[in-house]
Amino acid sequence: MTVIHANNSVGSSLGSSSDEHANSAHVFMGGTFDPIHFGHLRTALEIQQWLSVGHVYLMPANVPVHRETPGSTAKARLAMVEQAIDGESALRCDPREIMSDRPSFTIYTLEMLRKELGLAKPVCMVVGMDSFLSFDQWFRFDEYLEYCHIIVVARPGYHFKPNQVLKQLLAKHQVERKSDILTQSAGSILVHELTPLSISATYIRELIANGQSPRYLLPDGVWNFIQEHKLYFSKKDS
């Protein structure tokens, strides 16, 4: 398991020439991961294999600004991500947002990544379709494509109704081939169909709060961590 620490050594770690994939795209998937589960992990792994990149970086948010307050602390969610990817070389954890004292606006992360990686390296942000449909409400959303590509994960045969702002964005920036995002540093939106596992972090929290087991929905190491630290249990059980 490799963890990128958000300090002065981050840039050299991200751009290490000793990595056989050093010249491939930098791909990351942010989220609350409250808790992380097999749906997150399988999506990240399939994206890594589809793009043939060295790694996909999982980036837990510190103080998510587009969602309600998480059910566990930032440090606990970071620890669960680390537990979940232990032993999987294709997935890495980037804790920079957890370690930051600023709100988790992704545009700040993109600015930081560009400073570390330079202007030429392709950077890809992975988001789900539901998140993308509210993308025009994100802080400084109109600047994102200056820094990265956006990979929108959709179920096969998806049908969605973007608003007028997103329609215009797609008309200008949508591409169909992965080569379009691997040969340019930023600026494109690609909708990629895959069949994500139908697992919900909300459902997992509800199971735990009701005294039921979420095993086989998330890694055993994560479930053990949740039990050890009594996360998500109802007050009478904690």
Q: Is the pTM here over 0.95, yes or no?
A: no
pLDDT at 22 over 90: no
Mean pLDDT, all residues of the chain: 90
Biggest CA-to-CA distance, the chain: 55
Strand, helix or coil for residue 28: strand
| pLDDT of amino acid 102 | 86
Residues 80-109 have a mean pLDDT of 95
Q: At 180, phi and psi to the nearest 5?
A: -65, -25
Distance of alpha carbon 233 from alpha carbon 223, whole angstroms: 12
d(CA 181, CA 198): 27
- Per-residue pLDDT band for 11 (boundaries 50, 70, 90) equals very low
CB 99 within 8 A of CB 64: no
- Residue for token digits 């988790």? 104
User: What is the band of 167 on the pLDDT scale with cuts at 50, 70, 90?
Assistant: very high
- Asked if 25 and 124 touch (Cβ cutoff 8 Å), the reply is yes
In contact, 103 and 2? CB cutoff 8 Å: no
Q: What angle do CA 43, 91, 84 make, to 5 degrees?
A: 80
